[in-house]
């Protein structure tokens, strides 16, 4: 009996040791970002705090240059060496999801009420879902709204943009008045920059404001040859080709964002441009919601997110990190307080507003209530974008009419869209 | 007999050392060049977006390629760019090399200055040229305006974009200039002197002595420049993205777009193979034609 007791106690002791050592096993998670170097300290601080809260999870941060992050992921995906958690730009999301690179997060979200999906702006998830399942969690989502140079408005004697502004009235008149020429007739200041470009971020509100439309939500149809769409596009492109209140592509060549140089009265952009245009600009600027058009007020929004690799060995720990990283507190710490990006959680938004006190950043939040996600974001988005931008550039250079260019866009894009949705 | 054994051992050791010394390059060549080339044959017969397993499509990529309007545009643009940049670049590099081969004071400084652009980072130079070509405040149009000429829109004009890229390519003539300079300095002085004694003027000496003597170098520069021009990618990628329209869509850029922007690796591999075959045939033609104008001092040299 005594021998049996000693034997049993020994077994229990060994088992306890095993269990304890298993419980203390440290898991290392590789987390990849694409931050600019100046933002890395914030990231490191978050990871340190996380590791204090979770001593069994070690975070190995990897930061990739924005210029080659996509190629890096492509290579890692082929080699199945993707980081456990990684940054994803919205335009890559559908390709990543459909290729099986990302873990389906839906069951983790459903099982975890503390994650509180209702706190998020629903539109922010648009490109990150597939067949109603969520594969990535967006960390920022910014509506595209109007930026204006306060100094230039003041010197032109114009009142600042307000919520009642109309595109075809106050906005147009301001663009005309803000455009200035020197004695030789050379334009030295433009009223407007972006808008006539009809690029991904602006094309939806630009066309819809005048009753036109771009493509359907499923990205299976284009509406570019509809008369109202053509008329809307003409209104915008006329701002360059007829009124010359915005620089032509040739005039803005070599200048990445002409608004940055303080020689443009108005432009459109997302919340991520606040830092460049308001904090570091050598002029005073502010923001206002997208002016309404004859058909109403519209805008689009875009952002990025984080996903968990389908090849991770530690899905449970990865979810713990992702959940905390994109929790209310995580978003406040990373993007709200720093003013780096407009949070996707409503509860974290006031911290972003505090970071930009004195500016009308509420306009971004208001716009999020009616914004729709930018298009295209399907698996052929890059090619569709290239075709559209190429043709619109030809319109702005006076080489093609809107009708011709839009017909070409449809002819070349629709077969790709059909194939992508097969 | 003893001697014979020694020679054999020496030869064996020589062989072993040869393979030993050449092995780093050989391994690199097999792994990083031959491997991908063979892999590209397989990939060109598939539809592959990199992330999902490739789907076998047979020769569909090659068939689709011949129905692709942008493929033909890229082909024509690349031919135009190659002819322009190779001919102008070679002539200019030779002229500069001849000028810098003169025995004048400070010639070393000039040689350095002309070679400097060749060692400047590509993207930085490209951005610089982006500003030079700016139709509103660019240097070229500014100088043209001083003599009353309104300059073109350069990179935004379908007719001028390729000439603009060709002009820009001349910025990098430094490397070829150095090769020509070395060749010019190897032209036997006694031949030039003999020609001079025979009454040949400068032009005759250049045309009948210098050119034949450096013809192998001219041939090398032509072959290498042609291959390089076919592969041009960075300049149109940074400056025009193939625009306006498809006016500056060069072949290398189109391959890049297909492979890394549009995730069509199979199609891009098919394009690459077509380019490889074209460059290969062109180089063969160049070698065949070279027999009629390239002079080698030894017949083995051919």
Residues A119, A150, single domain; the answer is: no
Q: How confident is the model at residue B122 (pLDDT cuts 50, 70, 90)?
A: confident
High-pLDDT (> 90) share of chain B, %: 67
Do the domain assignments include residue B124? Answer: yes
Q: Which residues of A touch B244 (CB under 8 A)?
A: 249, 390, 393-394, 397, 399
Query: Residue B160 domain-assigned?
Result: yes
Give the residue ranges of chain A where pLDDT is below 50.
none
A8 within a domain of the structure (yes/no): no
User: Are residues B27 and B90 located together in one domain of the fold?
Assistant: no
3-state secondary structure of B87: helix
Residue B51 domain-assigned (yes or no)? no
Residues A149 and A229 occupy one common structural domain = yes
A55 in a domain, yes or no?
yes
- pLDDT tens-digit series, residues B107-119: 888 888 888 888 8
Q: Which residues of B touch A251 (CB under 8 A)?
A: 135-136
In a shared domain, residues B39 and B164 = no
Same domain, A231 and A314: no
Sequence-distant (6+) residues with CB within 8 A of B276 are B37
Q: Residue A305's closest CA among A145, A143, A135?
A: A135
CB–CB of B243 and A390 under 8 A? yes
Are A241 and A349 part of one and the same domain? no
Residues A105 and A250 reside in one and the same domain: no
In a domain, A374, yes or no: no
In whole angstroms, what is the distance from residue A311 CA to residue A291 CA? Answer: 46
User: What count of Cα atoms within 13 Å lies in the side-chain half-sphere of residue A411?
Assistant: 8
In a domain, B50, yes or no: no
Work out how many domains chain A is built from and give that number: 2
B102 and B222 part of one domain: yes
B152 lies in the same domain as B190: yes
Q: A69-98: b or e for each residue (b if 16 or more CB lie within 10 Å)?
A: bbebbbebbeeeebbbbbbbbbbbbbbbbb
pLDDT value of position A6: 59
Exposure letters A349-379 (e unless 16+ CB within 10 A, then b): bebbbebbeebbbebbbebbebbbbbbbbbb
| Cα–Cα distance measured from residue B224 to residue B229, given in angstroms and rounded to the nearest whole number | 9
A339: region left, alpha or beta (phi > 0 left; psi from -120 to 50 alpha)? left
Query: Is there a single domain that holds both residue B73 and residue B194?
Result: yes
- pLDDT number for residue A252: 78
Residue A189 lies in a domain: yes
Q: Does some domain include residue A12?
A: no
Judge if A167 and A266 occupy the same domain.
yes
Q: Is the same domain home to B221 and B148?
A: yes
Sign of the dihedral defined by the CA atoms of residues A288, A292, A293, A298, in that order: positive
Asked if A253 and B49 come within 8 Å (Cβ–Cβ), the reply is: no
Q: Max CA-CA distance within chain A? A: 111
Is A197 within the bounds of a domain? yes
- Residue A123 structural domain: 26-142+302-364
What's the complex ipTM? 0.81
Closest CA to A318 of A330, A327, A309, A329: A309
B-chain residues within 8 Å CB-CB of A99? 49-52
Out of A78, A98, A254, closest to residue B50 by CB: A78
Residues A266 and A397 in one domain: yes
Do B175 and B203 sit in the same domain of this protein? yes
Residues in chain B: 302
In a domain? residue B18: yes
Query: In this structure, are residues B246 and B161 in contact, taking their beta carbons and an 8 Å threshold?
Result: no
How long, in residues, is chain A?
422
Is the model's pLDDT at B302 over the cut of 50? Answer: no
Helix (H, G, I), strand (E, B) or coil at A7: helix
Residue of B nearest to A76 (CA): B51
Q: Is residue B49 part of a domain?
A: no
> Do B156 and B212 fall within a single domain?
yes
* Residues A156, A265 within the same domain: yes
Let me know whether B266 and B130 are in one domain: yes
Question: Residues A281, A307: one domain?
Answer: no
Are B134 and A250 within 8 A, CB to CB? yes
Judge: A250–B257 Cβ closer than 8 Å, yes or no.
no
Q: Which residues of B touch A (CB under 8 A)?
A: 49-52, 127, 130-131, 133-136, 153-156, 158, 241-246, 257, 260-263
CB distance A266 to A199 below 8 Å: no
Residue A98 lies in a domain: yes
Whether residues A220 and A237 fall in one domain: yes
How close is the nearest chain A Cα to the Cα of B132, in Å? 9
Partner residues linked to A136 by β-bridges: A307
Contact across the interface for B260 and A71, Cβ inside 8 Å:
yes
> Quick one: B244 and B123 in the same domain?
yes
Cis status of the peptide bond prior to B244, with omega within 30 of 0: yes
CATH code of B98's domain? 1.10.3720.10
Domain residues for the domain of B137 are 61-301
Domain identity same for B235 and B117: yes
* Tokens read off for B155: 């990179």
Tell me, what CATH number does A251's domain have? 3.40.190.10
Q: Are residues B38 and B152 in the same domain?
A: no
pLDDT higher than threshold 80 for residue B4? no
pLDDT of residue A256: 65
Residues A124 and A36 in one domain: yes
User: Is position A13 within any domain?
Assistant: no
- Pair (A280, A313) in one structural domain: no
Per the structure, the count of domains in chain B is: 2
Average pLDDT over residues B8-30: 91
Interface test with A, best of B36, B156, B240, B246 (most A CBs within 10 A): B156
Decide if B168 is inside a domain: yes
Q: Which two tokens stand for residue A291?
A: 């002016």
């Amino acid at each position: 009996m005594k021998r049996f007791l000693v034997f049993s106690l020994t077994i229990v002791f060994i088992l306890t040791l095993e269990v304890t050592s298993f419980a203390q096993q440290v898991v290392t998670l590789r987390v990849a970002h694409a931050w600019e170097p100046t933002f890395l300290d914030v990231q490191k601080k978050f990871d340190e705090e996380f590791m204090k809260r979770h001593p069994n999870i070690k975070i190995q941060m990897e930061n990739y240059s924005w210029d080659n992050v996509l190629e890096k992921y492509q290579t890692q995906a082929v080699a199945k060496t993707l980081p456990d958690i990684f940054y994803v730009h919205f335009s890559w999301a559908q390709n990543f999801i459909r290729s099986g690179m990302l873990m389906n997060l839906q069951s983790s979200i459903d099982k975890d009420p503390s994650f509180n999906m209702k706190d998020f702006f629903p539109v922010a998830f648009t490109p990150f879902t597939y067949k109603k399942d969520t594969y990535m969690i967006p960390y920022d989502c910014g509506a595209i709204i109007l930026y204006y140079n306060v100094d230039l408005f003041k010197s032109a004697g114009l009142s600042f943009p307000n919520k009642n502004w109309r595109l075809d009235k106050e906005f147009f008149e301001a663009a005309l008045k803000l455009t200035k020429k020197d004695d030789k007739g050379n334009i030295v200041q433009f009223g407007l920059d972006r808008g006539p470009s009809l690029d991904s971020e602006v094309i939806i509100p630009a066309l819809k404001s005048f009753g036109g439309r771009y493509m359907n939500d499923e990205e299976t149809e284009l509406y570019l040859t509809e008369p109202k769409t053509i008329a809307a596009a003409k209104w915008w492109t006329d701002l360059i080709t007829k009124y010359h209140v915005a620089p032509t592509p040739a005039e803005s060549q070599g200048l990445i964002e002409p608004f940055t140089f303080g020689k443009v009265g108005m432009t459109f952009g997302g919340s991520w441009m606040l830092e460049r245009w308001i904090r570091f600009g050598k002029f005073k600027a502010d923001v206002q919601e997208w002016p309404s058009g004859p058909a109403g007020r519209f805008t689009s929004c875009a952002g990025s997110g984080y996903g968990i690799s389908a090849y991770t060995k530690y899905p449970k720990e990865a979810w713990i990190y992702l959940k905390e990283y994109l929790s209310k507190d995580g978003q406040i710490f990373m993007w709200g307080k720093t003013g780096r990006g407009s949070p996707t959680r409503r509860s974290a938004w006031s911290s972003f507003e505090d970071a930009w006190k004195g500016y009308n950043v509420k306009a971004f939040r208001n716009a999020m209530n009616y914004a729709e996600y930018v298009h295209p974001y399907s698996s052929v988005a890059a090619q569709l974008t290239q075709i559209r931008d190429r043709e619109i550039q030809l319109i702005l250079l006076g080489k093609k009419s809107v009708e011709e260019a839009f017909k070409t866009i449809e002819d070349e894009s629709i077969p790709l869209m059909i194939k992508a949705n097969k | 007999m003893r001697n014979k054994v020694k020679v054999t051992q020496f030869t064996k050791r020589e062989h072993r050392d040869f393979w030993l010394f050449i092995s780093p390059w050989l391994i690199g060549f097999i792994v990083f060049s031959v491997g991908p080339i063979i892999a590209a044959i397989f990939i060109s017969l598939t539809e592959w977006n990199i992330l999902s397993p490739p789907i076998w499509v047979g020769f569909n990529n090659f068939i689709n390629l011949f129905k692709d309007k942008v493929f033909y545009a890229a082909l024509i643009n690349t031919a135009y760019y190659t002819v322009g940049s190779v001919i102008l670049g070679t002539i200019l590099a030779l002229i500069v090399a001849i000028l810098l081969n003169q025995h004048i004071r400070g010639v070393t400084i000039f040689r350095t200055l002309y070679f400097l652009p060749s060692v400047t980072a590509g993207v930085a130079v490209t951005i610089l040229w982006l500003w030079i070509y700016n139709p509103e405040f660019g240097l070229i149009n500014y100088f043209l305006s001083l003599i009353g000429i309104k300059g073109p829109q350069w990179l935004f004009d379908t007719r001028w974009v390729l000439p603009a890229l060709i002009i820009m390519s001349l910025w990098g003539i430094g490397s070829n200039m150095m090769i020509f300079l070395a060749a010019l300095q190897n032209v036997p002085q006694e031949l030039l002197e003999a020609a001079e004694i025979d009454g040949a003027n400068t032009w005759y000496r250049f045309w009948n002595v210098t050119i034949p003597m450096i013809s192998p170098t001219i041939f090398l520069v032509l072959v290498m420049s042609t291959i390089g021009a076919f592969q041009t990618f960075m300049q149109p990628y940074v400056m025009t993205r193939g625009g306006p329209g498809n006016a500056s869509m060069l072949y290398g850029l189109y391959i890049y777009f297909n492979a890394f922007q549009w995730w069509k690796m199979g199609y891009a591999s098919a394009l690459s193979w077509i380019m490889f075959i074209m460059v290969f045939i062109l180089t063969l033609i160049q070698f065949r034609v070279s027999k009629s104008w390239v002079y080698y001092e030894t017949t083995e040299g051919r």
